[in-house]
Amino acid sequence: MLNGKKIVLGVTGGIAAYKAATLCSKLVQKGADVHVIMTASATQFITELTLQTLTRNAVYTDTFDEREPAVVSHINLADMADLVLVAPATANVIAKMAHGMADDMLTTTLLATTAPVMIAPAMNVHMYDHPAVKHNMNLLAERGTLMIEPGEGLLACGYVGKGRLEEPETIVDVVERFFAQRDEVSWKRSEPALVEAFALGGAQEGIQESMQSGVSVQNTLLKGKKVVVTAGGTIERIDPVRYITNDSSGKMGFAIAAAARDLGADVKLVMGSTQAQPPENVQIIPVQSAQDMYEAVSQEWDGADIVIKAAAVADYRPKEVYMEKIKKKGDTLSLELVKNIDILETLGKRKTHQYLIGFAAETQSLEMYAREKLERKNCDLIVANDVTRSGAGFGTDTNAVHIYDRDGLVEELELMSKEDVAHRLLRIAAERIAGRN
């Protein structure tokens, strides 16, 4: 089901635009909150009123048609989207997307969103085969755009061949499975809608051969990348039976490690003290103290592409670790603590090619403290969470974070699953690395 999923549906000007009515109706029936953006030419084939009535949301056609002064519509749509689906996608909009054009509401929104983008091309068979169209689709594929291939059959223009918009029922099924399996998609060639999850890193051939074999296709946004994640708290021993730790369950770091795995990365998970089940199919490096964690991360540092420090590392440890259990004496016991290595700051000083992401666990002045850490520790991104907020921070399955870079706020993620936070964070990192390369 698509309950609560916000889907921005782009409708462009081909005869298949009439199918947008059925597509909207079926998405809404599945519980999706559908917001339609039409190109001017699409309104020649189907009316805004039809789609507005079916979605019970305003339909946008014009970038400057601002209905609420306090809201910039295309940015609002871009930020709210869990998925941007362009169906039908004409050769023209595919060309505009491939070359970063933004001359109408739809293409402007497409450039502004960090949500996953899925397109369902529909056009004349010869247009679909044209080298320019193929080139543009490959460009989009390399950036992680998901494709729903056209069906074959009699086209509106009288030709027979590949170019017919896939049936709305099939598109809805693909969208449902996308959300259900997020980035791990298993399609068999026998299925009518061949959704080819293309992605960064030129893995298309890998995708196609695995499709021939019918094995499950993983999104490969991070294929070939080595990702190191730290998770959980650290254990700073006092004596053989006592230690200092914190409330970190490891869930945030585990979600990041699992998401990186699902995006095709080679994942090393440096795991401190945790209360959750770590993900499978990642290499786990168990550690206890901050020093242990530093040494483990240092081992992986030179070969790492992305390092994400989600662990809650103790800033101090007992100056003296007793070899025997401290016996209870008087009414008080004083422990002198000394400062631990700041792993993130140390890595920041050694950073060369690595993309370094830190976390900030704050209880007040979130932005100020987070941006100060970002600068001081030389991070590329800092993920700040108010750990006093209900549903966020330690031990929860959800989190609400603000992601900052040196220029300020990159994205605010409202309360959502730690898995969704992880995927959004990794997409931002992958796009930044792609841009850098």
Q: Does 387 bind ligand PMT (CB under 6 A)?
A: yes
155 alpha carbon, distance to own chain's centre:
36
Please, which residue, 214 or 391, has the CB nearer to ligand PMT? Answer: 391
Please, which residue, 148 or 366, has the CB nearer to ligand PMT? Answer: 366
Q: Does 355 bind ligand PMT (CB under 6 A)?
A: no
- How far is Cα 141 from Cα 207, in angstroms, rounded to an integer? 11
Q: Does 63 bind ligand PMT (CB under 6 A)?
A: no
- Exactly one of 94, 221, 360, 426 binds ligand PMT (CB under 6 A); that residue is 360
- Exactly one of 358, 374, 380, 404 binds ligand PMT (CB under 6 A); that residue is 358
Residue 213: DSSP 8-state = H
Count of residues that bind ligand PMT according to CB under 6 A: 27
Please, which residue, 51 or 269, has the CB nearer to ligand PMT? Answer: 269
Q: Is 377 annotated as a binding residue?
A: yes
Stretch that binds ligand PMT, among 108-116, 265-273, 281-289, 389-397 (CB under 6 A): 389-397
Taking the complex as a whole, the smallest distance from the CB of residue 333 to ligand PMT amounts, in Å, to 24
Q: What is the DSSP string of 274-332?
A: -SSPPPSSSEEEE--SHHHHHHHHHHHHTT-SEEEE-SB--SEEESS--SSPPPP-SS-
Q: Does 273 bind ligand PMT (CB under 6 A)?
A: no
Q: Is 339 annotated as a binding residue?
A: no
Go through 48-76 and write b for each residue having 16 or more CB atoms within 10 A of its CB, e for each that does not: bebbeebbebebbbebeeeeeeeeebbeb
Burial zone of 234 (CB within 10 Å; 0-12 exposed, 13-18 middle, 19+ buried): buried
- How far is Cα 304 from Cα 28, in angstroms, rounded to an integer? 43
Q: Does 354 bind ligand PMT (CB under 6 A)?
A: no
Please, which residue, 146 or 356, has the CB nearer to ligand PMT? Answer: 356
- How far is Cα 14 from Cα 330, in angstroms, rounded to an integer? 84
Burial zone of 43 (CB within 10 Å; 0-12 exposed, 13-18 middle, 19+ buried): middle
- Exactly one of 92, 113, 249, 289 binds ligand PMT (CB under 6 A); that residue is 249
Q: Does 251 bind ligand PMT (CB under 6 A)?
A: yes
Structure tokens at 31: 């519980």
Q: Does 198 bind ligand PMT (CB under 6 A)?
A: no
Q: Is 325 annotated as a binding residue?
A: yes
Site for ligand PMT in 300-339 (CB under 6 A): 309-313, 315
- Is 24 considered catalytic here? no
Q: What angle do CA 231, 237, 241 make, to 5 degrees?
A: 115
Stretch that binds ligand PMT, among 99-107, 114-122, 248-256, 422-430 (CB under 6 A): 248-256
Taking the complex as a whole, the smallest distance from the CB of residue 96 to ligand PMT amounts, in Å, to 38
Rounded to whole angstroms, what are the CA distances from 87 to 14, 16, 332, 396?
A: 10, 8, 70, 37
Q: Applying CB under 6 A, which residues contact ligand PMT?
A: 248-253, 290, 309-313, 315, 340, 342-344, 358-361, 373, 385, 387, 393-395
Residues carrying an active site annotation: 157
